[in-house]
Structure 1
Amino acid sequence: MQIIPVIDLLAGQVVRALKGERSTYRPIESPLCGSSEPRQVAATLLAHCAARRLYVADLDGLLGGAPQAALLARLLRQLPGVEFWIDAGFADRDAAQSLLAALGPEAQRVVPVFGSESLASPEALARCMAPPAAGVLSLDRRHERPLDPGGCWTRPGLWPQRLIVMTLDRVGSDAGPDLDTLAEVRRHAPHAELVGAGGIRDAADLRAAQAAGADAWLVASALHDLRLPRAG
């Protein structure tokens, strides 16, 4: 099972995500990293997982503000060779392209994540996923209800090859992964690469997620709390 480490960025710091309630997020206190400074946290997580892919939730953008373009550009320069999956609350393809343009040449290592909670319409979804797009669709839900103003959940014909199944109320909750939702998405997308998000507590959860059809999982809290061993 591939682990994709996650950093949540708010006002220039890494914060601890808890159940998707973003107003409660505070700078992370991590036995693993000992810091909330973005480069240090990202580098430590990547090394712990032996990963070359990093998921970045830009909470400034997700909360309706401007994405943290200068910080993201700096991180890209500081972490050469790492692929960044960035969710900054893109409402449409133009919003993603605007951030990519601001990131300059390093943007070639960025994969935009289009969240169902943020996409504005079915037309926006279709345009985001039309060739030559290389984005990821995140199917977001909270408390068993889809977050879906654009109708993403009901249009599997528009889904790309890579999908995130994001259960926000499981994030940082120590409640275990939402394997029922993962299985539901797998039924609609039998050949997609599925990346789960939320709820992983330990290696046993990762094994259960893999058995349920996940190809990878986004993880933060279990890494910071030293509940997953260092890779290798």
Structure 2
Amino acid sequence: MESTWTIAELAERAVEALSAGDSVQVNGRVRDMPNERLIRWYTTIGLVDPPSGRRGRTALYGPRHLRQLVAVKRRQAEGRTIAQIQAELAGATDTHLSRIAALPAPGPAPAAAPPPLEAPAAAPSLGRSRFWTPAAAPSTAAPTSAFDGGGAVPRPPVVQGVRLADGLTLLLDVPALGDDDLAAITAAAGPLLEELRRRGLIEPASPPPPETPPTEALPTDMAPPRATSADAAPDDPSGSSQ
């Protein structure tokens, strides 16, 4: 069974892997070490896969996420742009990611601690119990809970959602999003949406509606056509008039 970590533990392992290599220092436009916010951003733009599972409300990540994260930082250390890294690593195999990430080999597992010594069983008492000592009365107090007023009820966290396409919503654990944030997310989500549509994971983009040709209005000063002699009713052959 593969190991799983929280997002904070994933960031710590990525920092350890990058610190053990030779490409810790990167160019001035790139952060030296990943953090939780950077991992969420990489997930949004498709450089890191979504969490592989959850433990309650906690997202869990595995070895592939670690390889993806370290591989991205290695390529950034070489001076490559995010667009170039997306083109290379989007949907990359584990073998390709492992070659780029070059994770250090795990150290030997620590030796298991010896089991604790069991305490000797107490010898049964041969004397009579003290009849003058009253037995403890059982407690009749009901346990308290947060719903009985024994504590404050925790407020559920609020997240922000951005609808990127039909059937695809981005959830961000942030208090609020501004217009600049929405514009940046929309621009960065373009390559991700194209890849998802190519794989058939979301519906294709709807074509724009056809344009209706404009109708030419009749000038208001144009008089309606008048009837000519050819359009008049024929004469009565009997020659009689009424």
TM bucket, shorter chain: under 0.3
Q: TM-score, normalised by structure 1?
A: 0.21
**Bigger Rg, structure 1 or 2:** 2
Q: Tell which has more relative contact order, 1 or 2 (C-alpha 8 A, sep 6+).
A: 1
Q: TM-score, normalised by structure 2?
A: 0.21
More strand by share: 1
